[in-house]
Structure 1
Amino acid sequence: MSDEEVKPPIPEENWGYDLYPERRGGRYKAPVSKILLGEGRENIDRLKCESRVWSCIQKSPLVKLMMSALKSSGCEIDISRHISCETCAPSVSGGYDPERNQVVVCQNMATSEGIVQSVLTHEFIHMFDYCNNHLDFKNLEHLACTEVRAANLTHCSFISAMFQGDASPIKIAKAHQDCVKTRAAHSIVAVRQISEEEARKIVDKVFDKCYGDLEPIGRRIRRNSLDMQKAYMERFVYGYD
């Protein structure tokens, strides 16, 4: 290989690690204004976060389903090992660290069980893709695929407009796909130093294949519905205990 072909290593911050300073032995420095408002109490935030994580693990159908799927894939969750409450940059609410095979719940953003449930489910999908589908998250196409799957399965609910007027199922399906593409692109931009235009091109390239992959939840979860309970009850179809 010639000298011209040798590429320097990509700095760690380009992988998004700077958003999770405690990942590499650092510490998030809260602005003085937030400290004065009582938002610099990391230990209290961590206890609240851990309590909400435990509650979701006990009660959330989606979180229990994802943990079952991970266990069946040979990646059983050890709560103390694989889930960590940490203070993060305010632009993110959670993350998945494939190098440590660990889900991060951002304790400064985990203000409700609903948020924690969303973070755990989203990041467990990334863990499932890393463990079961062997995706390499330093490959932007692989990263785009897992972000499409996470947005598709849990975040972008179908619009109820078909019951409220002249909206057609085709328009609803397109709106859902557009939501998934936007969320996936934004997630990539948040953790990689690329433009939104570049992120959208990568998302478009992998979209059709990754959008159609509903494993392990088996359905797109709609808000204010029984989809979470149904997905959990149907887990045996996929061979999950």
Structure 2
Amino acid sequence: MSNKERPNQANTNSEVTPTDTGYTFTDDPWIRWRNTWRYLTGGLTDEGIHQYIRGRDARFEREDCHRCEKERDYLLQYSPIVRFMNQKITALGGDLHKGNIRCQSCKEGRGGGFDPNYGILLCANRPEPVEDRLAHEMVHAYDFLRFKVDFQNHDLRHAACTEIRASSLSGECRFWREFWHRSQWKLTYQHQECVRRRATISVSKRPNCKDDVEAAKVVNEVWDSCFADTRPFDEIYK
């Protein structure tokens, strides 16, 4: 048999069957319901879970953003912690309002962000309460104005300190949220462990942080002074 007559064995062997993630891309309501059922009952692979979340976020982006904006407007007017933080930020020369507190759909794993030049971003597709996320970012805004926290040069010690304070003071680490929503069932030092865990995760995502080991090291270095600092509150609010 000549070379021309031989099948291309290399090409035949290189064919790869796509991995079944359990998720089906579709607009069909029945199959979408099946995707949801598989998601809730553990029938999706890790990649299938990512595909489900991305599909859900894309489908409900407009509704999520509208809901987030309504909650933001309500909180700015009626939430005690948001109103208090906004007063303190205004006293330092800041100006946060619904024009620079924006809602949009974000990639997985992100809850929001603060940028001194643009204001606050709230990720509308995250399930956590908007009040906690807004208070978290307002602590960052306060720290930038009050303590000149380095958000531009990415100083990891500055990042660790403001993340510790934001997680501790915003309410996102209160006992029942950890207990019921994150399956953290320890009865002692739960708040401290939540703050340390979430601060370490946030610092590890900074571009100039090598890994979670370095993030944990930096958090530990500044822990005592930053966790004890509850300004502008007299104590941890909630």
Percent identity (aligned): 31
Alignment of 1:54 with 2:68, yes or no, is: no
**Matched residue count:** 175
* Separation in structure 1 between the aligned mates of residue 165 and residue 95 of structure 2, nearest angstrom: 21
5+ residue gaps, structure 2: 1-49, 177-186
Q: Deviations over 1:159-208 (max 9, x none)?
A: 9xxxxxxxxxxx94x44333321121011123445311110100111111
Cα gap change, 1:35 to 1:135, in 2 (>3 Å): closer
Local SS of the residue matching 1:104:
strand
Q: Is the 8 A contact 1:152 1:211 kept in 2?
A: yes
Local SS of the residue matching 1:132:
helix
- The TM-score normalised by the length of structure 2 is 0.66
Alignment of 1:117 with 2:131, yes or no, is: yes
Q: Is the 8 A contact 1:65 1:217 kept in 2?
A: no
Alignment of 1:106 with 2:123, yes or no, is: yes
Following TM superposition, the consecutive aligned residue runs of length 4 or more in structure 1 with deviations greater than 6 angstroms are none
Per chain length, whose mean CA-contact separation is higher, i.e. which structure has more relative contact order (CA < 8 Å, sep 6+)? Answer: 1
5+ residue gaps, structure 1: 1-30, 160-170, 223-241
Query: 1:1-241 maps to which residues of 2 (within 5 A)?
Result: 33=52, 39-80=58-99, 82-98=100-116, 100-109=117-126, 111=127, 115-137=129-151, 138-154=154-170, 155-157=172-174, 172=188, 174-192=189-207, 193-222=209-238
Instruction: From the CA coordinates, give the structure whose radius of gyration is larger.
Output: 2
Q: Is the 8 A contact 1:94 1:123 kept in 2?
A: yes
What is the deviation of 1:52? Answer: 1.1
Matching residue of 2:184: none
* Separation in structure 2 between the aligned mates of residue 38 and residue 127 of structure 1, nearest angstrom: 28
Q: Deviations over 1:97-124 (max 9, x none)?
A: 23x2411000112x5xx71000100000
Q: Deviations over 1:71-98 (max 9, x none)?
A: 1111122321x20111111201111123
Cα gap change, 1:214 to 1:104, in 2 (>3 Å): same
* Separation in structure 1 between the aligned mates of residue 196 and residue 52 of structure 2, nearest angstrom: 35
Q: Is the 8 A contact 1:101 1:127 kept in 2?
A: no
* Separation in structure 1 between the aligned mates of residue 220 and residue 56 of structure 2, nearest angstrom: 43
What is the deviation of 1:60? Answer: 1.1
Local SS of the residue matching 2:147:
coil
Q: Which amino acid aligns with 1:58?
A: Q
Q: Which amino acid aligns with 2:124?
A: Q
Cα gap change, 1:139 to 1:56, in 2 (>3 Å): same
